[in-house]
Amino acid sequence: GENVEQHPSTLSVQEGDSAVIKCTYSDSASNYFPWYKQELGKGPQLIIDIRSNVGEKKDQRIAVTLNKTAKHFSLHITETQPEDSAVYFCAAPGYSSASKIIFGSGTRLSIRP
Amino acid sequence: DVKVTQSSRYLVKRTGEKVFLECVQDMDHENMFWYRQDPGLGLRLIYFSYDVKMKEKGDIPEGYSVSREKKERFSLILESASTNQTSMYLCASIQFGGSAYNSPLHFGNGTRLTVT
């Protein structure tokens, strides 16, 4: 069945360094790939998304890359800051059924001062 | 900005009580969802609704029911709360884009329910 695998589950980086989180999906029909950030005590919030007609999208220190052939997409955070500490989720929605909005298992990112 | 509001941030209930979790969204979204979030298990879909009075089961509907009498409001009901329903509950809404989900989910800030 459809699946989204997210790695790593935890990630600790030095402030100022880069962080990369990767997701692999199985449903080739997926064409929209969002990344959500969940801060402590809050619900997940969209931070960046990409559609299947582009390979990369950037928004300041955050970027997402998509490889449709390999069925994976990655979140890149450069020049990490303490406020980047959070749990990050990827998702790969499918077609015509809410049960096909499949989330990755989450990555807890910690930024070391 | 879309706002999804969950009526309670924290709830403490006793085993056997009937519990109502309320969610309201202000952007006229057709689709609304209830997820449960537990450590190590990620986000699991309990129920969703694609229109008023319409609902479908998600991955873990046992022990739950839902109500959607108005488009903006989606309620999750625990008929008889049990300790294994202690969890974080997240409501979300989305603007369905035709044949596919190609826009983001908008989440509320969650209700942390403790059943004792």
Any residues with CB less than 8 A from the CB of A13 and at least 6 apart, and which? Answer: A19, A80, A109, A110, A111, A112
pLDDT of residue A28: 74
Query: Nearest CB to A103: which of B42, B103, B109?
Result: B42
Which chain A residues are closer than 8 Å to B45 by Cβ? 98-99, 101
SS3 B84: helix
A44-63: pLDDT as tens digits? 999 999 988 889 999 999 99
Q: Which residue of A has its CA nearest to B89?
A: A43
For residues B78 and B11, what is the distance between their CA atoms, to the nearest angstrom?
13
Residues A98, B103: C-beta atoms closer than 8 Å: no
pLDDT digits over A83-106, tens only? 999 999 999 875 545 556 889 999
> Which residue of A lies nearest to B91 if distances are taken between CA atoms?
A43
CB A82 within 8 A of CB A72: no
Q: Which residues of chain B have pLDDT under 70?
A: 1-2, 97-100
B59 touches chain A (CB under 8 A): yes
